Amino acid sequence: MKLIFEKSKAGRGCDILPSCDVPIVELDDNMKRQKELHLPEISETDISRHYTELMKRTFGVNDGFYPLGSCTMKYNPKINDEMAKLPGFSNIHPLQPASTAQGCLEVMKTTEKYLCEITGMDAISFQPAAGAHGEFTGLLLIRAYHEARKDEKRNKIIVPDSAHGTNPASAAMAGFTVINITSTKDGYVDLEELKKVVGDDTAGFMLTNPNTVGLFDKNILEITEIIHKAGGLNYYDGANLNAIMGIARPGDMGFDVVHLNLHKTFSTPHGGGGPGCGPVGCKESLIKFLPLPRVEEENGVYKLILEREESIGRVKGFYGNFLVVVRALTYILTLGGNGLKYASENAVLNANYMMHKLKDIYKMPFSEPCMHEFVMTVEDLKKEKGVSALDIAKALLDYGIHPPTMYFPLIVHEALMLEPTETESKETLDYVIEILREVYEEAMTNPESLHQCPKKTPIGRPDEVTAARNPVLRYHF
């Protein structure tokens, strides 16, 4: 497929802008661009066809099953977008007076209230743009907390080796030293290891629960107590909240700070589909450090708090990705409290159903019932037949199935991590189970054919190594 620049013809174009109806103001010469902009010149028909062709080459939840583990690629109900499109939400400016945007502020305050109820936190900020940004913001809160108490030797954040890679990265960015601890063979936090590393330099502990192998850590109350006794704070990575909505709350487990991924758990567009939103919630003692602006309500009037001395300041322009909050609120109101709980129960049921139907041929490194996702390993297949997790993932593409997360978590070799979510029917799950079994059979009898997959997609198997070693990042005119 040609790039849009390659389709450009000098002098061609389309009249999408109306003629100017205000006086034209010329810029001073020193402010003018010296060279012409390299913009593609192309007719509207060809633009439309170009992007339609691109669209056909993509794959989203609207195209098929998308079991990307730890990403919660659930279906995004259309009503969310309908609400986000309402002119009162979309035709506004972030700098217009608060008195003229009361509805928008009410949405933020109401969503904050609901998310506090769901997580067991006392306040929430919608500023962070996505998950890792939320982690970073949450860690800055932890840092501000210790600094305000003049407890400045606390510079270490403890992270289990099963954590998402963003956890240690965010901790390092927030100025902490990262201490990694190994997990037990069953995939849980090793309490003995944890006790060994805590001390008067412990700033905090980061955990995803259920964790990245799809297990709920049964020792969670003991874990958070160990950290609290040592004087540290507990950080909850909300990546896997989809397993426990309405059932368990991070706030009740002993966590002091959480981030959520509205774009995962609360069904707003995800990845290339739209901006994220990684709100950070915290307990009472940390509220004063939250980023600004904050929305507050007094006698039914909403206002924005723009200054507060102890605040860590802004972490993003304006108020975060507001329309994602509108979509999340729509989702919460559509499902209601019982509906959210039902969603989590079905997310867990669907994952266990798939795991159960696959475990006689795919090896499950952790045998206990899982939460909303599970990890399989094809280590044996790799050794015996030379077929890797990557080969299996590529083969699924030919059946219109998006690959699961691969090679994660790092503690499992040749890992495939599946998260079906609650929005898939039993028929879809059965189809995918059948295909996964067929692909395994093919790997056993005809391993060579799997190295060629995918065979039916617009692009076969790209050379990922060359692409990573010699990336071509822009078009050269």
Contact residues: other proteins, CB under 8 A? 165, 383, 390, 406-408, 410, 413, 464-465, 468-469
Query: Between 97 and 462, whose beta carbon lies closer to other proteins?
Result: 462
**Smallest distance, other proteins to C-beta of residue 390, A:** 8
Both tokens of residue 378? 């094809």
**Smallest distance, other proteins to C-beta of residue 43, A:** 39
Side-chain-side CA neighbours of 189 within 13 Å: the count stands at 28
Query: Between 242 and 388, whose beta carbon lies closer to other proteins?
Result: 388
Tally Cβ neighbours within 10 Å of residue 368: 15
Closest CA to 74 of 326, 261, 308: 261
Q: How many residues does the chain have?
A: 477
User: Please, is 338 exposed, middle or buried when counting C-beta atoms within 10 Å of its C-beta (0-12, 13-18, 19+)?
Assistant: exposed
**Smallest distance, other proteins to C-beta of residue 462, A:** 10
Which SS3 state, helix, strand or coil, does residue 305 take? strand
Say if strands 233-237 and 202-208 run parallel, antiparallel, or are unpaired. parallel
**Smallest distance, other proteins to C-beta of residue 375, A:** 15
User: Please, is 391 exposed, middle or buried when counting C-beta atoms within 10 Å of its C-beta (0-12, 13-18, 19+)?
Assistant: buried
**Smallest distance, other proteins to C-beta of residue 159, A:** 13
Interior angle at CA 351, CA 349 and CA 357, nearest 5:
100
Residues 383, 381: Cα–Cα separation, whole Å = 5
Both tokens of residue 343? 């969603």
Query: Between 351 and 412, whose beta carbon lies closer to other proteins?
Result: 412
Query: Between 218 and 383, whose beta carbon lies closer to other proteins?
Result: 383
Residues 137, 150: Cα–Cα separation, whole Å = 20
Query: Between 197 and 333, whose beta carbon lies closer to other proteins?
Result: 197
Query: Between 16 and 468, whose beta carbon lies closer to other proteins?
Result: 468
Tokens 């608060």 -> residue: 98
**Smallest distance, other proteins to C-beta of residue 407, A:** 4
Interior angle at CA 259, CA 253 and CA 261, nearest 5:
120
Query: Between 359 and 383, whose beta carbon lies closer to other proteins?
Result: 383
